A and B are shown apart, each in its own frame.
Chain A
C-alpha cells in the first residue's frame, strides 16, 4: 500500500498528465500549462522556504530573469544552450543573494528578496534604454504549446522528486532543524549558511528554468511584463494553502488556486487584486500551516 502511494500513484498521474494534451483543446492545454507552471513554482519555493521558514518574496525575480534570458539569447544560441544559460544565471544570482544575506538573521533575506525583482527590472530597463537602445524583445522559437507543457511537466516532476529525495537525506533533516530552531541546529554541528545556500540555489535555479520554459508563450517580452509581482504573490499563497512543509502541499494548493485565479481575473478584472489580498490574509489567519495540517488536526481531534 505504501509503495503504491509513494511511487505507483504519482507515476500513473504523471503518465496521465503527459498524454492529456493529445486529447485537450487549446484552452484546456493553456490551463494545464498554467497549473504545471504554478505547481513547479510553488513546489520549488517550498523546497527552500517551506522548512526553513525563510520567506522568499523574490519568485518573480528569478522567473522573470529566466524569461528574459530566453528573450535575449533565443536567436543566437540553440535552445538547450539557452535553457542551460538561464539556469546558470539563476544559480549565480541566487548565490549572490544568498551569500550576502543567508549568513545573517532571516529578516535581511526577506527584505532583500522583497525588493529584488524591482531592482532587476530597473537594471534591465536602464541597460536596454541606455546601451542597446530598445526596450522589448521578441521570442521566435519553433515550439508548440504541447512542447512547452511537456517540458514544464517534466520540470515539475523533477522538482517534486528532488524535494522527496532531499527530505530523506541529511540536507532535508538539516533544513527541518534550521526551521525549528537555528540555535539548536548550529549546536548540533549543522553548517547553517551552507545548508541554506544549497537549498536556496536549487530552488532558485528551478524557478529560473520555469520562467525560461514558459517564456515562448509570451512572444513579446518586456521587463514590466515578465517581472509581474503577482507571480511572487501567487506562489507564496499556493504553497501556504496546501502546506509549505509537505511534499504534496504546494501542488495541492496550486491546482485549485490557479483555477480560482483564472476565473477571478477574467470575470472580475478590476477587483481581482483586492480579492487576492483578502484571500491571502484569510489563509495566513485561518490556515497558518496549510490544508493538509488542518485535516490532520481535525482527524486527531475526532480520535481523541
Chain B
C-alpha cells in the first residue's frame, strides 16, 4: 500500500515537476506571472487527443511536435502581448500587476476557444493502458512512458541551464536583469527565450498529462495553481527546487487521494501552500 502510493506519487510528481519548471522559467527569467499557464497545457492536451483520435498519430510523435509548437506559441505570445507591457512598465514595478491582469484575460480567451472547439466534456484517450509491474506494484504503462518523457525533458533542461553558455545567459538574466546588459547580454532576447521555453515545457507537460489523465476545458486553473504552488515551494527561479517540490506535491496528492478522498487534491495543494507561506515563504530549498 505504502509502496504503491510512493511509486504512483513519484510518477505523478514527474509531470508536476515539468509543469512547474516551465512556469518558473517564465516567472524567473521573463518576469511574467502567467495565470494562463494551465490553459497552455490544456491546448497541448487537447491537440494530443485530437492527433491521436483524428489522425492516428502516436502520442510520442505528437509530443515531439508539441514541444516546438509550444515554443513558437510562447514566442508569439511574448512578442505580441508581453513585450509591450514590459516596455511600458520600464523600471517601475507595474509589470507584475499588468502581466497578472493581461494573462487573466488571456485565460478566459483561451478557455473560450477551447470550449468552442472541443466542447465542455471530460476527455481522455486509452493509450498503453495495460499494467506493468514495478517493484511488485502494478502501474499503467502510459504513466511510466509519461514519467520517462518528463524525466528526459527535465534532465535535459537542467543540464542545459547548468552547463551551456546559453543556460548561463538565461541564469544571468534571471539573477539580475539590470546588470545583465553590462556584460553584453541581450536581455530582451533572453526573456523571450525564457518565456517561449516555459510554454514549450507547458506543452510537453500537457501532452504527457493527456496520455493518462482525464481533463476538461475548464480545468486549467487547477494546473496553474499547482504549478504556482510548486514554484513557490521550490523558490522562484530555482530549477532544482521546482523539481523536488513537484515530486513532493505528486506524493502528497497521491497520498491524500488514496488515504482520504480523491476529491480533495486541490485542498492538499493549498495545505502545502499554507505551510510554506507560514513557515518558509522564500521557498523550502533556498539558502537564507
Query: Which residues of A pack against B, CB within 8 Å?
Result: 53, 55, 57, 100-101, 104, 106-108, 110-112, 114-115, 118-119, 122-123, 125-126, 129-130, 229, 233, 236-237, 240, 270-281, 283-285, 288
Contacts of A229 in B (CB 8 A): 221
Which chain A residue lies CB-closest to B99? A284
Are A101 and B101 interface neighbours, CB within 8 A? no
Task: Confirm or deny: B247 has a beta carbon within 8 angstroms of a beta carbon on chain A.
Answer: no
- Pick from A126, A280, A283: contact of B263, CB below 8 A: A126
A residues in contact with B273, CB < 8 Å: 111-112
| Of A110, A240, A271, most B-chain CB atoms within 10 Å | A110
Give the contacts of B266-288 with A (CB-CB under 8 A): 266-267, 269-270, 273-274, 277-278, 281
**4 tightest Cβ-Cβ pairs between the two chains A and B:** A277-B109, A273-B112, A280-B105, A274-B112
Given the contacts A110-B33, A281-B106, A285-B102, A123 and B267 also touching, CB distance less than 8 Å? yes
Please state if B104 and A274 are interface contacts (CB–CB under 8 Å).
no
Contact of A119 with B102 in the complex, beta carbons under 8 Å: no
- Contact (Cβ within 8 A) A100 B225: no
Determine whether the beta carbon of A57 is less than 8 Å from that of B104: yes
Contacts of B101 in A (CB 8 A): 55, 236, 240, 280, 284
Distance in angstroms between the alpha carbons of A106 and B99 in the assembled complex? 13
CB proximity of A130 to chain B, nearest CB, Å: 7
With A280-B104, A281-B106 known to touch, is A115 a contact of B96 (CB < 8 Å)? no
Please tell me which one of the listed residues B106, B111, B225, B232 contacts residue A108 in the complex, with CB atoms under 8 A apart: B232
- Judge whether B108 and A280 touch: CB under 8 Å: yes
Interfacial chain A residues near B81, Cβ < 8 Å: 281
Q: Mark B253-269, 1 if CB is under 8 A from A, else 0.
A: 00000000101101101
* Bound form: Cα–Cα A123–B256 in Å: 14
Q: Which of B111, B112, B261 contacts A126 (CB 8 A)?
A: B261
Q: In the complex, A118→B270 CA distance in Å?
A: 10
A237 to B263, CA, bound (A): 31
Chain B residues whose CB sits within 8 angstroms of the CB of A236 once the complex forms:
101, 104
Q: Tell me which residues across on chain B come within 8 A of A111, comparing CB atoms.
A: 225, 228-229, 232, 273
Judging by beta carbons under 8 Å apart, are B232 and A55 in contact?
no
Per-residue interface assignment for chain B, residues 72 to 96, with 1 indicating a CB less than 8 Å from any chain A CB and 0 otherwise: 0000000001001100100000001
Give chain B's interface secondary structure class.
Answer: helix
Bound CA span A115–B116, Å: 24
Task: Please give me the residue from chain A that is nearest to B115 by CB atom.
Answer: A273
Q: In the docked arrangement, what's the CA distance between A288 and B88, Å?
A: 11
Contacts of B278 in A (CB 8 A): 100
Chain B residues within an 8 Å CB radius of A275: 112
B113 within 8 A of A: yes
**Interface contact B228-A114, CB-CB below 8 Å:** yes
- Structural contact, A119 and B267, CB atoms closer than 8 A: yes
27 contacts between A and B (CB under 8 A): A53-B97, A55-B97, A100-B277, A101-B277, A104-B277, A104-B281, A108-B281, A111-B228, A118-B222, A118-B266, A119-B266, A119-B270, A122-B267, A123-B264, A130-B261, A233-B104, A236-B101, A237-B105, A270-B116, A273-B112, A274-B108, A274-B112, A276-B109, A277-B111, A277-B112, A284-B101, A285-B102
> What's the minimum C-beta distance from A62 to chain B, rounded to whole angstroms?
16
Tell yes or no: B35 within 8 A of A by CB: yes
- Whether A114 contacts B225 by the Cβ 8 Å rule is yes
A130–B222 CA distance with the chains assembled, in angstroms: 22
A126 to B116, CA, bound (A): 29
Quote the shortest CB–CB distance from B278 to chain A (angstroms): 6
Instruction: Specify which chain A residues have a CB less than 8 angstroms from the CB of B185 in the assembled complex.
Output: none
Given contacts A100-B274, A104-B277, contact A277 B228 (CB under 8 A): no
Write the nearest CB–CB distance from B179 to chain A, whole angstroms: 21
Minimum C-beta distance from B228 to chain A (A)? 5
Which of these, A107, A273, A285, contacts B111 with CB under 8 Å? A273
Chain A residues near B104: list those with CB within 8 A.
57, 233, 236, 280
B98 within 8 A of A: yes
Question: What distance in Å separates the Cβ of A255 from its nearest Cβ neighbour in chain B?
Answer: 21
- CB neighbours (8 Å) of B85 from chain A are 285
CB distance from A127 to the nearest CB of B (A): 10
Mark out the residues of chain B between 106 and 143 whose CB falls within 8 Å of any chain A CB in the assembled complex. 106-113, 115-116
Report yes or no: B109 in contact with A278, Cβ–Cβ below 8 A.
yes
Question: Using a CB-CB cutoff of 8 Å, which residues 181-225 of chain B contact chain A?
Answer: 221-222, 224-225
A260–B164 Cα gap in the complex (Å)? Answer: 52
B106: chain A residues within 8 A (beta carbon): 277, 281
User: Does B6 count as interface, using CB distance less than 8 angstroms?
Assistant: no
Known: A111-B229, A115-B266. 9 other contacts (CB 8 A): A106-B96, A108-B281, A114-B228, A115-B269, A275-B112, A278-B105, A279-B105, A280-B108, A288-B98
What is the chain A residue whose CB lies nearest that of B36? Answer: A277
In the assembled complex, the Cα of A278 lies from the Cα of B109 at a distance in Å of 6
CB-based contact A118/B112 at 8 Å: no
Which residues of B are found within 8 Å of A100, using beta-carbon distances? 274, 277-278
